[in-house]
Amino acid sequence: MTLSGIHVPLITPFAADGEIAFDALEDLARAALDDGASGLVALGTTAEVATLAEEERRAVIEVCGRVCRERGATLTVGAGSADTRSTAEALRALKGEADAALVTVPAFVRPSEAGVLAHFTALAEQTPVPLVVYNIPYRTGQSVGAATLRRLGELPMVAGVKHAVGGVDLDTVALLADPPEGFAVLAGDDPFLSALLALGASGGILASAHLRTGEFAELFRAWRAGEVEHARALGHRLSLMSAAMFAEPNPTVLKGVLHAQGRIPTADVRLPLVPASRASVEAALRML
């Protein structure tokens, strides 16, 4: 499959009783797609997936899948863990439920890059859906270089990478200069979306795109069309807004903003996260 455009990794909204507010989740999903997103990501980090029970995860996939099918949009689902066997089991369960799976580079274990390659090679042989490698070294403790990412991109069931290395480093430039054919490089650090699009990225998976989704989609279109001045100015504005959303751990500020806008019933998060401070939420609202 080909992945491009803006994909929104949905939060999990909670009601006052602590249960998932599924009506609000559905409204967020519909709004993102109606405003120009190419797809949704369910059960990503932004969804507080580690705090969700298995039955809650299944229900989130059902809601997001239904909305994506109605809109003809791509649904990517976060799946797996640091263990190859259990990740393969999680992937097999996505058959018929998702268009792609977002699979993080093994965290905490910190295998060598050869181990990372072997991990995804084994998964590619067993998965019923295309894989998006989630390269996020500041969470996993494992950096994956451009050469290894290219080799991953050559695997038949690997569709792309969510590239979130905390900036635009040499590996980022090298990968985008010569990516494997059909391998989507998706920006995963919201403030650097415009920079990666300028270098040729295929799009982005961006929590900030819950807000001003249409402008993020317009930024993608502008860079693709070569409208450099417009894209640069819009990219600067969206980067500053995105940075404000990450003043405290994701998705706490974003939830505070969405609640202030009346789009979710509470700004609650589940422990070990705690709600964002009023100052951070107000600062983010001013950026909007």
Residue 48: count of CB within 10 angstroms of its CB: 20
Q: Is 6 among the annotated ligand-binding positions?
A: no
Q: Is 46 annotated as a binding residue?
A: yes
**Tokens 């019933």, located at residue:** 265
Bond preceding residue 128 cis, omega within 30 of 0 = no
Query: Which residues in 134-147 are b (16+ Cβ under 10 Å) and which e?
Result: bbbeeebebbbebe
Nearest of 194, 205, 124, 123 to residue 164 by alpha carbon: 205
Active site amino acids? 134, 162
Binding residues for pyruvate, as ranges, are: 46, 205
